[in-house]
Structure 1
Amino acid sequence: MSLKKLWTALRGATNESLEAVADSQSIRILDQELRDAKKELQACDENLTKIMAKRKLTEAKTKSLTSEVETYTNHAIAASEKGDEALAIECAERVSELETNLEVEQSILTGFTTSEKTLKANIAKAKTNVRRMEQQIDQVKATESVQKAQVAVSSRHMGANTKVKTALDSLERIKQKQQQRSAELEAAEELANEESGSSLDAKLKQAGIQPGGEVKGSDKLAQLLAKKKG
């Protein structure tokens, strides 16, 4: 391999390694961002709860003031009809004061209602985005785990095939050695028999020349009849 090709290969391997590190770091960053976003959303929910509570209190105060305005208005009219102008004016002044307070509370209520509506919409959008991000991160992690498992299984399968082939080759060599050893033992036994004369004795015995050799049925019958006559 030329130096240029070697450098290209090394640079490619380095780039892949750096990309793998960067990808892993990116997932960790997204995990942290996701945790931070959830904390912020939790804080937003708490703030929304406070705003809703204040809006309800303001609503109750507004209703109370409205009721008081109506009550003192009726009192002012009743006092005027009875000819008690001083009391009627005092009730009218009270109505004016209550209406001023009511106007302030209604303005505050409008602000709380608007803020609550806006905050709810923004929180809903943020929660949707967080769920999408969480889903994508989980999907990436799951895919990464599956692919790593597939690579591991593939590598092990290739390694197992190599090991099995090596084992079969070894088994074949063992068989060949055993066959060679058996042949050598048989040859050694033949040589030993020839040296001791046992090989010749076996041939004579098989021919019926030596005692214990094979005897034909007719010869055996003649032997038995001879013994009886004797």
Structure 2
Amino acid sequence: MSTKPQGRRKAQPQADTAAAPEPSALWRRLVTAVRGGVTGLGEAIADSQALRILDEEIRDNDAELRRVRATLAETMARCKVAQERLAAANAKLAEYEGYALKALKSGEEQLARDVAGHIALLEIERDGHARQVGELTEGVAHLRKVVVQFEATIGRLKQQVDTVRATETVQRAQAAMASRRRDADGRVRTALDSLERIKRRQAERDIRLDAARIEDGEALDASLEARLRRAGIIAEEDRTEAVLSRLKDRRDE
């Protein structure tokens, strides 16, 4: 018997808890809403700064491209000098190899040996020039690729900026045109309403003028007839004869 009331007393707080949201849940929803507002504000600021950031990025890439092109020109010049030195070293080698061969043919083996030692030194120098030419050639090829990459990046950024600016210009023009059209439509509607009111007033005035003209005409006719009768120009009707004639007509019926 005593367990039933206890069960009802325990169930009551649970029902109240389900009906009202917990403070922690309210706090989580509030924090989420605030974060959403901050995120939206941040996105709006980022969008407003997008073109400025892209312009700065284009300028930075342009500056870096100029530096790379300057380095490329310098590297190409150094590579050309190294190639000339390599060609001179090869020519010197060919010259001394000819000397060594002539010495061997002449039986001057010691002289040929000395020339061979000098040729060995020339080959070391030649190999150094060849390595430098190879490294500079690779550097030129790499820098050319970098130049192409920078040019592609700058072209892509400029295209995006131009597209965004062109679209923005078109949209602003369309918005201005729509605003002017709305203003013009409002002015036209107001003018048309005024014209309608003017037309109604003019029609009412015409009616009043017509009525006045009719009244004036009738009054003028009555007054003129009265004056003509008084002057004896229009004879008065003999009503007695008219009444007698009408009675005779009724007798004969």
The two structures share one fold, judged by TM-score above 0.5: yes
Amino acid at match of 1:56: K
User: Tell me, what secondary structure is at the counterpart of 1:83?
Assistant: coil
- The residue aligned with 1:79 is 103
Amino acid at match of 1:94: H
Aligned length: 196
Q: CA deviation at 1:86?
A: 5.2
Amino acid at match of 1:106: A
Q: CA deviation at 1:36?
A: 2.1
Q: Deviation per CA, 1:146-199, whole angstroms, max 9, x where unpaired?
A: 11122222222222222111110011111122223334444555566677x466
**Is the 2:68–2:146 Cα contact (8 Å) retained in structure 1?**
no
Q: Which has the larger radius of gyration?
A: 2
User: Tell me, what secondary structure is at the counterpart of 2:134?
Assistant: helix
The answer on 1:134 being equivalent to 2:158 is yes
The answer on 1:99 being equivalent to 2:123 is yes
- The residue aligned with 2:204 is 180
Change (3 A) 1:203 1:112: farther
User: For 2:173, which of 149, 156, 160 is the aligned residue?
Assistant: 149
**Which structure 1 residue ranges, 5 or more long, are not aligned?**
1-13, 212-230
Q: CA deviation at 1:105?
A: 1.0
Q: CA deviation at 1:17?
A: 8.4
- The residue aligned with 1:3 is none
The answer on 1:65 being equivalent to 2:112 is no
**Which structure 2 residue ranges, 5 or more long, are not aligned?**
1-37, 235-253
User: Tell me, what secondary structure is at the counterpart of 2:107?
Assistant: coil
Q: CA deviation at 1:22?
A: 3.8
Query: CA–CA distance in 2 between the matches of 1:58 and 1:203?
Result: 137
- The residue aligned with 1:167 is 191
**Is the 2:89–2:122 Cα contact (8 Å) retained in structure 1?**
yes
Paired-residue identity, %: 33
User: For 2:223, which of 197, 200, 211 is the aligned residue?
Assistant: 200
Query: CA–CA distance in 2 between the matches of 1:31 and 1:133?
Result: 8
